[in-house]
Amino acid sequence: MPYFRVGTTLLSVLISLAPLPTLGADADPLGLRAIRDQAHGIEAAAGRAQAPSWLRTAPDPAAAGAGSALGQTELARQGQAPVSASACEDLGQLCGAPKPAAGPSAGAAPGTGITYTVFVSRALGTEALRAIFRGAIGADVRVVFRGINPGERMMDAIHDLQSLLKDLDPLPTVELDPTPFRDGGITVVPVISARDATGEVARVSGLSAPDWLRAQLGAGTRGDLGVRGPVVTISEPDLIEEMQRRVAALDLNAMREAAIGRYWQRAAFEVLPAATTARERTIDPTITARADLILPDGTALIRAGDTVNPLDRLPFTHRLVIFDASDPRQVAVAHRLGQTAGALRPLYLATAFDRTQGWDGLRAVEDRLDAPVYLLTPDVRARFALERVPAMVEARGRVFVISELPVAPTPEVRHD
């Protein structure tokens, strides 16, 4: 069981809050993408974490003292004689060394399948939360927060909670999920709820550790057992509602346009120098198989040691036109190569664009060529050993031919 995670239901809501643009690596609105990526990272870490071993530790001395004082006061009010350690037991505190656990869940019969959820908030304060974490170490206990503070970043909240878990070994299970708060109608904390396969069997408010509730269940007590200590109002809003509020406040259209506009400032170009002389090279794609290539039906397609030329089996029907789209002269060459392709299908690959013109520049080049234009990728550049542009790649017989075509130099402007 992981020591910190975002609830699965919540994760699904975060991902589906709004459709995000998919054009380019940074086309997601920044705020939404951060929330989604953080939620994914938490869920992935949760799947790798190991379940902590069962360990009951001594309580925080201040908490035990406060529990003892409250117990003595209550006994005096009721006119009962103080009984040794009754205040500690009645208020769910541990006084002195803990008693040995009876099986996997102390105070509950083995195999009952009861789990304990401790509902908390950062409104309880650092020391109280640390005491709750220490008392929640166990495979059958989890601590749940409802959300993060208004305006707070998800990762800032997670870092704050992780600082509270510092030096605890083993770590308790801590979750960030508003769903159980909704289902249980929880509005104040701390509240401890005991559940089995049928649902909630008991709950108590105001206690920081489940030991008292375990004892009550062991004695056969069920239901809402009331308030046994101080409680506070939850400071964090419902995380799902907070995320929905933040989404509603976003100008998604403006963020989408900004993200799309940034694409051209970050796009990686496979820049090649301009050709100065005409040159033609050939590439023989023939390969020698290192192992047998067997089809699913058992037929041997290629035997180890056989030489194979892909052009013998699959015709190459394209003419690749590689050019610098930021150079009008190379755009003109690309247009001419496309017009003279004959039966071949021209495929335009640009090594660069004018970043300042952005999408308008791309549309202008595509209008000029009357065809889509794609960015040259590193693997295509390496596969055909491209060195200069403008260039053309096409198949002739059993080889690929790479032709480099120089452009006319830009005429100098004379000032008489």
Tens of pLDDT, residue by residue over 259-297, are 777 777 788 899 999 999 999 999 999 988 888 888 888
> Vertex 185, ends 181 and 190: CA angle to 5°?
65
Domain boundaries, the chain: 4-57+98-242, 279-404
Tens of pLDDT, residue by residue over 318-338, are 999 999 999 999 999 999 999
SS3 209: coil
Question: With a threshold of 0.75, does the pTM exceed it?
Answer: no
Flag whether pLDDT at 20 surpasses 60.
no
Task: Give phi and psi for 242, each to the nearest 5.
Answer: -65, -40
Flag whether pLDDT at 191 surpasses 50.
yes
Q: Tell me, what's the pLDDT at 107?
A: 39
Q: Give residues with Cβ within 8 angstroms of 391, minimum separation 6.
A: 272, 275, 321, 322, 323, 402, 403, 404, 405
Q: How confident is the model at residue 303 (pLDDT cuts 50, 70, 90)?
A: confident
72 compared with 239, residue with greater pLDDT:
239
The CATH number corresponding to 279-404 among 3.40.30, 2.60.40, 1.20.1050, 3.40.50 equals 3.40.30
Q: Tell me, what's the pLDDT at 407?
A: 87
Average pLDDT score over residue span 161-188: 90
Q: What's the token pair of residue 37? A: 């990526």
